[in-house]
A and B are shown apart, each in its own frame.
Chain A
Amino acid sequence: MRKRSAMNIMKRILLMMLFTLAVSGMASAATFNLRADVITKAMPDGAVITMWGFACDSATAPAVCPNQGVVTVPGPQLVVPSNDNTLTINLTNNLSEPVSIIIPGQQQNVTAMTPVKFTDSQGRKRVMSFTNQAAAKTGSVSGTAAYTWNNVRPGSFIYQSGTHPAVQIQMGLYGAMKKDFATGQAYNSSSSQYANEVILFYSEIDSALHSAVATGNYGPGKAVTSTTHYEPKYFLVNGEPFSAGKAPVLAGLPNQNTLIRFMNIGLSDLTPLLQGLYMNIISEDGNLLRYPRNQYSVILAAGKTIDAIITPTKSGFYPVYDRRLKLANGPSTGGGMLTYLNVNSPTNCTANVLSNFSLDLPIVNVSGTNLFADLQYVPGTTSDIMLKLTDYGTITDSGSFSGCQASTLTFDGSNFKLHVPLARYSNSGFTLDLQYVPSTDGQIWFRLTSVSSASL
């Protein structure tokens, strides 16, 4: 695991970039073949929600399908390469009603963007879609449609259904679309350069609407006739509400620029708030701001995208949460729109104290040599907390743990002692002290001798 050091990752990224550049010289029209389909999503409280999502079934290089063939909500993130001006989406519709795709902020091929109307029961022509649609699936025949954007501009955008959006967007027909100005640079300004990227895509679920649609009880003359009584119960980040034990999002190393793309496709305005950090807000709706705005919170209106850059100086877990306090999963607290940014090395030096307790420690010994030790908690029969050494060695690449506070290893003549500072989500660090315990089983054991907080 030390082999997967930051340096190696950088090398790999570099190779990938070279490959991408080589390939992109040949093709210059990102094409994604998307499919609209039904999925169910389980919520932390056990509720199972019927949703509509997108899958990317195939893509034309240099475009790449994330989660190929898998229906997700939000849909697959569409990345248009920097040197590519044209985006094509071929849409296949497996749903029971027509759907379409629009991208607010990107100009669709004008001739294709024609509103679709229907005639209601009183003979009135009414718009049902902002653009041409893929027809509903009939029998085994899926509807299809194609959309092309000829002049894709850099920025963060949300693609979404342009048909019956009051229902279809809530049902889950949305996803992120982005294009960078250049590799590692979001816009035509050096202020938008970044080393790492995080996307925080917010959406909401009003379970009443989903069950009405799923059971055929939504529509004129049915039990639910409109979306007026919108009352979301679940508040998602990247398609999942927070729940205990959810993994933090990797957000680079200290003193690096990390770009956060905030997107909100829910129907409510939000205020994502970074605790312990300020961010430079650099763009709104895919438009670069003339001057960055230095804030710890940002108003993220429904439908909006905002890009911000953080440059944390210290490693740790930084919570980002909606300050409108959509932090419940239904009536249960401890959920909703909460994410931890893990500013740290990719090989994590912190302990997961919730389950399967293991420690992955960078250690500086007295002579300043960079060592590492990996310890695994092994449940025992005594009340002692015992950790077994599973791997150790010398770190040759110091880049791999520059985000971690090093543990200290001391030898007092008879005992090895490990002093381990740890960061928690709350950044309220605590320390573990471990003592080497001689053993005859051929393993190297440490016993937990003290914890600065009684919380373990």
Chain B
Amino acid sequence: MKNKNLFLKTRLLLMILSLMVLGVSFSAEGAIDGVISSSNHFTLTAKSGYIDTPEGGHLFTWGYALNNANMQYPGPTLLLKQNDVVTVTLKNELTVPVSIVFPGQPDVAATGGVPGLLTMEAPPGGTVDYMFTASQPGTYTYYSGTMPELQVEMGLVGAIIVRPSTNPSTQAYNHASSAYDREFLYLLTEMDPEIHRKVSEGRMNEVDTTTFFPVNWFINGRSLPDTLLEAPSLLLPSQPYNIVPRMRVGERVLVRMIGGGRDFHPLHLHGNHHKVIARDARLLESTPGTSGADLAEMLFSTTVASGQTTDAIFTWTGENLGWDLYGHSFADPLVSNETFAETTLLSSLSSNAFSTSLTVADASGFPATSSFRAIVWSGTFPGTTREIVRLKRSFGNTFTITGRGLEMIPLTQGNVEASNWPSGSRIAYTDHGRPVPVKLPDQLDLTNGMFWSGSPFLGTAGPLPPGEGGFNPNSGFFFMWHSHSEKELTNNNVFPGGLASMMIVEHPDPLIAPFADNPNITVVP
């Protein structure tokens, strides 16, 4: 017990240290780690080992190892190209028969081994070759087809990504509707430690899978906060994959979700809805093969069902939040994506005329209740005089100035101050110059966070406690992406933990060097 606590403390300390490193360097993050074979021949060895869970759990696990490497959980993510003719050789170093099934792959030919219920199985010490053609792109899974109700629980599960022949590095499928800037894998699983304990003690015949009661939950084989640890990590030798999604404002992020376990998990992506474009590696399209993801669905939680795969596009611009996400001052020039609804004034707006109206149709694009910022100008935007005012809808399509010359600073251009806007001037709804409200810590506070922004992006600039503010150099904004089954935010009854990670949205300023996707890809012959 004492040792375990010491171990736990050491691990936490090491983790914090590595998080600090991560915060400074942001290296080895992004994209999807996995294995590529130049000859399309992968050798997976089923073997046993242990995985660690953040609350101090140490679970006996079966997994697919790459060649003779460590047992890993989940198995290696196989990175394939469309039409690859793939051979997966399974070697079995376990004491029970084992196999691999590849749902979604047609005509898998299995040679060697002995027949099982779902495919040919490798007996202990034996080998099976599985061959298939990865004819369709998408997100797939593989797992043991032998006694799967036990062996999947024990860890014999992994992911397959088949890249399309069209734009394989920027599209998930052979259609532009699946284009993305960055991609991340969410292979969701769970474990019931009781089953692992019985198997490790050689009491496999006492396992009753109908009493399955999971208390640990994983993304890519790790639980929060280990999900945020670097990948690979010396601390987690059997769990080589992490999950730290990062994006720059406005990018399209492809989220590949796989239900690897026996339970459904509602994956909730904070920050915005996501657009589900494919299930089971098929675009949601009205005319298969041509229409693209025209039947895509907007969701804020996706039910990640067992064995099923779901691809979704997430993007985040901060649009319509009412804050300037770019940290501009009012005097800064507007950037092109800062104005939202835009139209023409139907009546003049000036110091004497406090209200103006828009067409009913155009007014529908403007906020209905809260007061908001608008930019008014004439001529060709933004080449003429302009002004930022605060407006509020008074009724219908009529808007009244509620702020002008107070916190609002008239913009000037060419030393001409605008103040009178005749009917026909243009107006647009904008968040320009409105900082995100951030409560900065007191100077005397002892803060425990390395991610206090103290930055102009996504927050108010201001003095921070000594030593703080240096760990989020790209001024990222954090969203938790997690299971919405809140019970799953624990590690064996210890909160917080479980099926969660953090999405970091970073500033799009071209002066900040865009971070590189730097996946850990093992290339085998």
**A residues engaging B (CB < 8 A)?**
231-233, 269, 271, 273-278, 291, 293-297, 299, 314, 319, 321, 323-328, 330-331, 333-334, 336, 338, 424-429, 453-455
- A330 partner residues in chain B, CB cutoff 8 A: 208, 210
Q: Mark B113-143, 1 if CB is under 8 A from A, else 0.
A: 0111111100000000000000000000000
Contact with A294, one of B109, B116, B207, B282 (Cβ below 8 angstroms): B282
Report Cα–Cα, A296/B295, bound state, in Å: 18
Say whether A299 contacts B305, CB under 8 Å: yes
Cβ of B284 within 8 Å of any chain A Cβ, yes or no, is yes
Looking across the interface, which residue of chain A has its beta carbon closest to that of B146? A333
* Given known contacts A291-B286, A293-B284, A426-B115, A324 and B211 CB-to-CB distance under 8 angstroms: no
* Given known contacts A276-B106, A293-B284, A325-B209, A426 and B307 CB-to-CB distance under 8 angstroms: no
Looking across the interface, which residue of chain B has its beta carbon closest to that of A280? B288
What are 8 inter-chain pairs, A to B, with CB distance below 8 A? A269-B264, A275-B101, A275-B103, A293-B279, A294-B288, A296-B103, A297-B308, A426-B117
Contact with B103, one of A297, A427, A429, A453 (Cβ below 8 angstroms): A297
Q: Closest CB-CB distance, A260 to chain B, in whole Å?
A: 16
- Leading 10 A-B pairs by shortest Cβ distance: A323-B307, A325-B149, A428-B110, A295-B280, A331-B208, A323-B306, A294-B282, A333-B147, A426-B119, A428-B120
Cβ of B235 within 8 Å of any chain A Cβ, yes or no, is no
Q: Closest CB-CB distance, B213 to chain A, in whole Å?
A: 10
Q: Closest CB-CB distance, B256 to chain A, in whole Å?
A: 16
- B107 partner residues in chain A, CB cutoff 8 A: 276, 314, 427
Report Cα–Cα, A321/B262, bound state, in Å: 13
- A295 partner residues in chain B, CB cutoff 8 A: 279-280, 282, 308
Cβ of B504 within 8 Å of any chain A Cβ, yes or no, is no
New A-B contacts (5) at CB < 8 Å, excluding given A232-B210, A271-B259, A293-B279? A319-B118, A324-B263, A326-B149, A328-B209, A330-B210
- How many chain B residues sit at the interface, stated as a range, is 35 or more
Cβ of B350 within 8 Å of any chain A Cβ, yes or no, is no
Q: Mark B275-314, 1 if CB is under 8 A from A, else 0.
A: 0000110101010100000010000000101111000000
Q: Closest CB-CB distance, B217 to chain A, in whole Å?
A: 16
Say whether B150 contacts A333, CB under 8 Å: yes
- B282 partner residues in chain A, CB cutoff 8 A: 278, 294-295
Report Cα–Cα, A299/B280, bound state, in Å: 12
* Given known contacts A295-B279, A428-B120, A278 and B104 CB-to-CB distance under 8 angstroms: yes
Q: Closest CB-CB distance, B60 to chain A, in whole Å?
A: 19
Contact with B210, one of A331, A334, A338, A424 (Cβ below 8 angstroms): A331
- A325 partner residues in chain B, CB cutoff 8 A: 148-149, 152-153, 209, 262, 306
Report Cα–Cα, A325/B208, bound state, in Å: 12
Q: Which of A269, A291, A294, A428 has the most CB of B within 10 A?
A: A428
Report Cα–Cα, A333/B205, bound state, in Å: 10
Looking across the interface, which residue of chain B has its beta carbon closest to that of A429? B109
* Given known contacts A278-B282, A334-B147, A426 and B262 CB-to-CB distance under 8 angstroms: no
Say whether A278 contacts B280, CB under 8 Å: yes
- B104 partner residues in chain A, CB cutoff 8 A: 278, 296
Q: Closest CB-CB distance, B293 to chain A, in whole Å?
A: 12
Say whether B210 contacts A271, CB under 8 Å: no
Report Cα–Cα, A157/B273, bound state, in Å: 34
Cβ of B111 within 8 Å of any chain A Cβ, yes or no, is yes
Report Cα–Cα, A106/B262, bound state, in Å: 32
- A326 partner residues in chain B, CB cutoff 8 A: 149, 210
Cβ of B108 within 8 Å of any chain A Cβ, yes or no, is yes
- B208 partner residues in chain A, CB cutoff 8 A: 328, 330-331
Say whether A426 contacts B210, CB under 8 Å: no
* Given known contacts A273-B307, A296-B104, A325-B209, A428 and B109 CB-to-CB distance under 8 angstroms: yes
Say whether A271 contacts B307, CB under 8 Å: yes
Looking across the interface, which residue of chain A has its beta carbon closest to that of B308? A297
Contact with A273, one of B103, B106, B284 (Cβ below 8 angstroms): B103
Report Cα–Cα, A271/B279, bound state, in Å: 13
Report Cα–Cα, A428/B105, bound state, in Å: 14
- B286 partner residues in chain A, CB cutoff 8 A: 291
- B259 partner residues in chain A, CB cutoff 8 A: 271, 323
Report Cα–Cα, A454/B108, bound state, in Å: 20
- A428 partner residues in chain B, CB cutoff 8 A: 109-111, 115, 119-120
Report Cα–Cα, A325/B212, bound state, in Å: 11
Say whether B149 contacts A328, CB under 8 Å: yes
Looking across the interface, which residue of chain B has its beta carbon closest to that of A323? B307
Say whether A426 contacts B149, CB under 8 Å: no
Report Cα–Cα, A293/B145, bound state, in Å: 25
- B279 partner residues in chain A, CB cutoff 8 A: 293, 295
- B305 partner residues in chain A, CB cutoff 8 A: 271, 297, 299, 323
Looking across the interface, which residue of chain B has its beta carbon closest to that of A321? B118
- A333 partner residues in chain B, CB cutoff 8 A: 147, 149-150, 209
Report Cα–Cα, A334/B117, bound state, in Å: 8
- B147 partner residues in chain A, CB cutoff 8 A: 327, 333-334
Q: Closest CB-CB distance, B334 to chain A, in whole Å?
A: 42
- A231 partner residues in chain B, CB cutoff 8 A: 210-211
Q: Which of B357-407 contact A (CB under 8 A)?
A: none
Contact with A455, one of B109, B115, B153, B207 (Cβ below 8 angstroms): B115
Q: Closest CB-CB distance, B280 to chain A, in whole Å?
A: 4
- B101 partner residues in chain A, CB cutoff 8 A: 275
- A233 partner residues in chain B, CB cutoff 8 A: 210
* Given known contacts A278-B282, A293-B284, A334-B147, A328 and B115 CB-to-CB distance under 8 angstroms: no
Contact with B262, one of A324, A427, A455 (Cβ below 8 angstroms): A324
- A277 partner residues in chain B, CB cutoff 8 A: 106
- A324 partner residues in chain B, CB cutoff 8 A: 262-263, 306
- A426 partner residues in chain B, CB cutoff 8 A: 110, 115-120
Looking across the interface, which residue of chain A has its beta carbon closest to that of B109? A428
- A232 partner residues in chain B, CB cutoff 8 A: 210
Looking across the interface, which residue of chain B has its beta carbon closest to that of A430? B115
- B207 partner residues in chain A, CB cutoff 8 A: 331
Q: Which of B150, B279, B288 has the most CB of A within 10 A?
A: B279
- B111 partner residues in chain A, CB cutoff 8 A: 428
* Given known contacts A273-B103, A427-B108, A299 and B149 CB-to-CB distance under 8 angstroms: no
Looking across the interface, which residue of chain B has its beta carbon closest to that of A272? B307
Say whether B103 contacts A299, CB under 8 Å: no
Report Cα–Cα, A277/B108, bound state, in Å: 11
Q: Closest CB-CB distance, A313 to chain B, in whole Å?
A: 8
* Given known contacts A271-B307, A297-B280, A453-B115, A291 and B295 CB-to-CB distance under 8 angstroms: yes
Q: Closest CB-CB distance, A316 to chain B, in whole Å?
A: 9
Q: Closest CB-CB distance, B111 to chain A, in whole Å?
A: 7
Report Cα–Cα, A324/B143, bound state, in Å: 13
- A429 partner residues in chain B, CB cutoff 8 A: 109
Q: Closest CB-CB distance, A126 to chain B, in whole Å?
A: 31
Report Cα–Cα, A229/B306, bound state, in Å: 23
Q: Which of A291, A296, A429 has the most CB of B within 10 A?
A: A296
- A273 partner residues in chain B, CB cutoff 8 A: 103, 307
- B209 partner residues in chain A, CB cutoff 8 A: 325, 327-328, 331, 333
Q: Closest CB-CB distance, B130 to chain A, in whole Å?
A: 9
Looking across the interface, which residue of chain A has its beta carbon closest to that of B288? A294
Q: Closest CB-CB distance, A441 to chain B, in whole Å?
A: 33
Report Cα–Cα, A336/B210, bound state, in Å: 11
- A334 partner residues in chain B, CB cutoff 8 A: 117, 147
Report Cα–Cα, A326/B259, bound state, in Å: 15
Report Cα–Cα, A296/B258, bound state, in Å: 13
* Given known contacts A297-B280, A297-B307, A424 and B115 CB-to-CB distance under 8 angstroms: yes
Looking across the interface, which residue of chain B has its beta carbon closest to that of A338? B117
Q: Closest CB-CB distance, B284 to chain A, in whole Å?
A: 7
Q: Closest CB-CB distance, B289 to chain A, in whole Å?
A: 10
Q: Which of B207, B208, B305 has the most CB of A within 10 A?
A: B305
Say whether B117 contacts A425, CB under 8 Å: yes
Report Cα–Cα, A334/B150, bound state, in Å: 11
- A336 partner residues in chain B, CB cutoff 8 A: 149
